[in-house]
Amino acid sequence: MAVLIDLVLLSMLALTALRIIFLKDLFAVVMLFGIYSFLSALIFINLDAVDVAFTEAAVGAGISTVLMLSTLALTGRKEKESKHSSILPFLVVTVTGAALIYGTIDMPPFGDANNPIHQHVAPRYIEQSPVEVGLPNMVTSVLASYRGFDTLGETVVVFAAMIGVLTLLSVRRKEDDEAPDSGLKSHRVLHVVAKIIIPFVILFALYVQFHGDYGPGGGFQAGVIAAAAIILYALVFGLPMALRVISPKFLQILAPLGVLLYASVGIYSMFMGGNFLDYNKLAHDPVHGQHYGIIIIELGVGITVFAVMLSIFYAFASQAERRNVS
């Protein structure tokens, strides 16, 4: 049954991607891209990657759609007819694709438990991580403990992306009377429902943050969900209101704070006589130490991702609003 679902969903994904090629309306492209993200999240669930699916649904369908739409608000929604012939790209793609398809024949069959990928590091993670780290969710154990360095690097990359966006586009706080009239301002129903929903979304983000050790979730997902709550607020009540609730300055402090929190756990474990990010040294009992370490670094990740996603959104949205004013 799972195989059948897999086949159908993958075919739908392929069709969605194919449709994107021929669309000239970029608004529809972005919407289809959101559908594409949701479909891939479903496929990830079907392939047992629940954490990944969670992230894809929150990030791919939520944040990137909003960012692309706010870019479209500035660049226009129509793609112009191209004068180039599309034969050469098509040829290149066909040849490359044929070569890759030929290459897949040498790959180990899908889903076989004897594949090389399952023979090396993975058995150690699956057998030892519940004992060594003491968490049921292996993805969190690997993410935060075994591959802690890697995750620190990723968090720094996310932080660097925020710096990049903020140097390219600045967030400017505007006077209220300048603020454009959002089409959603007169939307009583939306206001009421958003007011009811947003606290629950933030609560859910906290649940995902702190329950990530036991179920799907963790800092990355929680940060994105919390950012999505504030983005919803900004979309419904207007950007100036959101800027008043959480100011960009505050976010610019929060983002490095998360990275520093993460790194300081590493430094602290060095002071306690271990290696960088060696959580075993954080408490007398190594497993307790792992627990403390993982909770703190996940919190650091969550804070950074939240601050980065939200300030990127602020940067994009304030560009769009400024254009509306002028």
Q: Which of residues 181-240 bind other proteins (CB under 8 A)?
A: 183-184, 187, 189-190, 193, 196-197, 200, 214-216, 218, 220, 224
**Residue numbers 35-94 binding other proteins by CB under 8 A:** 36-37, 40, 43-44, 47-52, 55-56, 59-60, 63-64, 67-68, 71-72, 74-76, 79-80, 82-84, 86, 89-90, 92-94
**CA-to-CA distance for 49 and 6, rounded, in angstroms?**
13
Q: What is the CA radius of gyration of the chain?
A: 23
**Which residues make Cβ contacts (< 8 Å) with residue 176, sequence separation at least 6?**
240
Shortest distance in whole angstroms from residue 271 CB to other proteins: 27
Beta carbon nearer to other proteins, 200 or 250: 200
Tokens for 10, please give them: 């993958």
Q: For 213-253, give the DSSP string.
A: TTSS--HHHHHHHHHHHHHHHHHHH-HHHHHHHS-HHHHHH
**CA-to-CA distance for 192 and 214, rounded, in angstroms?**
34
Beta carbon nearer to other proteins, 136 or 244: 136
Identify which range of 179-187, 247-255, 260-268, 272-280 contacts other proteins by CB under 8 A: 179-187
**CA-to-CA distance for 227 and 59, rounded, in angstroms?**
10
Beta carbon nearer to other proteins, 34 or 270: 34
Tokens for 273, please give them: 């006589």
Beta carbon nearer to other proteins, 204 or 292: 204
Shortest distance in whole angstroms from residue 159 CB to other proteins: 9
**CA-to-CA distance for 97 and 121, rounded, in angstroms?**
31
Residue 306 engages other proteins in binding (rule: CB under 8 A): no
Beta carbon nearer to other proteins, 169 or 270: 169
Q: Measured on CA atoms in the order 290, 293, 299, 302, is the torsion positive or negative?
A: negative
**CA-to-CA distance for 40 and 247, rounded, in angstroms?**
34
Shortest distance in whole angstroms from residue 234 CB to other proteins: 15
Of 163, 162, 147, the residue nearest 297 (C-alpha) = 147
Shortest distance in whole angstroms from residue 76 CB to other proteins: 8
Beta carbon nearer to other proteins, 63 or 277: 63
Beta carbon nearer to other proteins, 152 or 261: 152
Beta carbon nearer to other proteins, 166 or 246: 166
Tokens for 169, please give them: 């586009």
Shortest distance in whole angstroms from residue 163 CB to other proteins: 9
Identify which range of 241-249, 271-279, 291-299, 312-320 contacts other proteins by CB under 8 A: 312-320
How many residues in the shown chain lie near other proteins by CB under 8 A?
A: 112
Shortest distance in whole angstroms from residue 305 CB to other proteins: 6
Site string for other proteins, 1-40 (x = CB under 8 A): --x--xx--xx-xx--xx-xx----x--xx--x--xx--x
**Which residues make Cβ contacts (< 8 Å) with residue 325, sequence separation at least 6?**
174, 178, 179, 180
Site string for other proteins, 125-164 (x = CB under 8 A): xx--xx-----xxxx-xxx---x--xx--x--xx--xx-x
Tokens for 297, please give them: 């670094």
**CA-to-CA distance for 61 and 41, rounded, in angstroms?**
9
Rounded to 5°, the CA angle 239-240-244 comes to 115
